[in-house]
Every structure is written in C-alpha cells, then in structure tokens.
Structure 1
C-alpha cells in the first residue's frame, strides 16, 4: 500500500517562486507540488549515489560562482590539488564563472572537496557526477 501524501509548508522568496513557475511551465508539470516532488526525488537519488562511496573513484565536479569569488575557489582547490587531474575555468554571462574539475582519487576526499563547494554560500551551485 502506498504511503499517503502529507502536506508540508515551504517558504520561498519571490524570485524562487518565479523560477519554480517558469520550470513548471517549461517542463510541463501540472502543479508546483509535482515539480517540488520531482526535485526532491532527484536530490535524494544524487545523494544516495554519493553515500557510501569508498575506494578510488573518478568524478566531474562543476561549480558556478560570481567572478569576485575566484579567490575562494582557489583556496578550496589548493587543499585538493592531488585529486585534480584537470581544471577548466571559463567566464560566462555577466561576470559569473564556471569551473570544471576532473577528479581522480579517494572517494572520501572527493566527497570532502564537493562539500567544501556545496557549503560555501558564495557558490551559486556545485554538482558532482561520479564516473
């Protein structure tokens, strides 16, 4: 028997609501709840993939941030030089930067560098793909 859905309350600012509504329309979701559930499922799936990683792994880490935070990226990068096989940096729209790291090494260190970017409030986004 399927678990009954429960209603929860989530606070979003106006910008996030506009973005949510745009995504809902462009992706064809029938309502906000449906797109929020899809987003949560994706996030949970990605986190499960990362949990329990052990041994040597290869991964791609993609980070987006404002140009003014290049120094913070360099600081995090410096602590993980041994993991980084390739690093590409490019400036994109209006002073934002994208960083692509090809990582190879201990899974726990890959988790650690990813966490460093994810928890830095000055990073717009960080996405890890395990290869």
Structure 2
C-alpha cells in the first residue's frame, strides 16, 4: 500500500487522534482510509437521474469574506437556488440553500461552495424529485 503524507491544522489532528481513541481505530491510517471511502461514497450520485432537490448547508466564520462570495454564487445560479437562509450557530455563520436541478448541476454547485475561501464545512442531502416521490 502506498504511503501518503497529509497536512492539517494541529487542532484537527488532535480531534482526529481523540476520535481514533474513542472509536477503537488501529491508527490514523485506518481512520483516514475510512473517511476517504465515505467521501467518495458521498459523491457517488449515479443512482440519481433527472431532476432532484437538495438542501446544502455551508458553515463559515463571521469575519470571513465567505458570505459575500456565497451571495454572489447564489445570484449567479438563481435558476438552481429556490431558497436560501442565513443563520448563526455555535459562533459561526450558516448559509442554507435549497436547490433543484440535475444531479450534475447540483454537484458542480456544491463543489463551487466548497471552493469558497473561508467556508469550513459543506454538508448536503439529496432528495428524489417530487415526481418520483409521489409516484
């Protein structure tokens, strides 16, 4: 198996080490491999076709430039974004988006949100299209 070097902030490394100890992993490599598999599975959206709805949550620090960038991104994709809400949780800002479109278009939008400088976390949930859910 190839050996890979990964850099991360010390605080994240400490959290990872605590997680490993609390959940019985044999070491960092095992935990990182499982995390990588989960990330890959998360993006394996081949099961969705046609139009879908998606809820996206982006977390960022209040004093970052992320809010303005997310606003620009939202306006640039007005055909995709049906609703958005700005909120606060745990001392950070949350931007919540409801989007509707093809899975490829939504995946590209999620990737653009992740690329915004200052955005710390992006999570989303994909729902079947209304037409398929009713059928």
TM range, smaller chain = 0.7 to 0.9
- Residue 111 of structure 1 and its aligned partner are, at CA, apart by 2.1
Cross-structure match for 2:131:
none
Deviating runs (4+, > 3 A) in structure 1?
51-54
Cross-structure match for 1:25:
21
1:16 to 12, 16, 26: 12
User: Which moved further from structure 2: 79-88 or 29-38?
Assistant: 79-88
**Contact 2:58–2:123 (CA under 8 A) maintained in structure 1:** yes
TM-score, normalised with respect to structure 2: 0.78
Q: How many residues align?
A: 125
- Residue 59 of structure 1 and its aligned partner are, at CA, apart by 1.2
In the alignment, structure 1 segments of 5+ residues that lack a partner are: none
Secondary structure of the residue that 2:7 maps to in structure 1? coil
Q: Deviations over 1:27-82 (max 9, x none)?
A: 33232111111101101111222x68653111111111112332111111111222
TM-score, normalised with respect to structure 1: 0.80
Secondary structure of the residue that 1:11 maps to in structure 2? coil
Cross-structure match for 1:93:
90
Cross-structure match for 2:56:
61
Cross-structure match for 1:41:
37
Rounded to whole Å, the distance in 1 between the matches of 2:22 and 2:78 is: 40
**Contact 1:56–1:106 (CA under 8 A) maintained in structure 2:** yes
Q: 1:26 to 1:100 in 2, by over 3 A?
A: farther
- Residue 16 of structure 1 and its aligned partner are, at CA, apart by 2.5
Rounded to whole Å, the distance in 2 between the matches of 1:104 and 1:59 is: 6
Secondary structure of the residue that 2:43 maps to in structure 1? helix
Rounded to whole Å, the distance in 2 between the matches of 1:7 and 1:112 is: 30
How large is the RMSD of aligned CA atoms in angstroms? 2.1
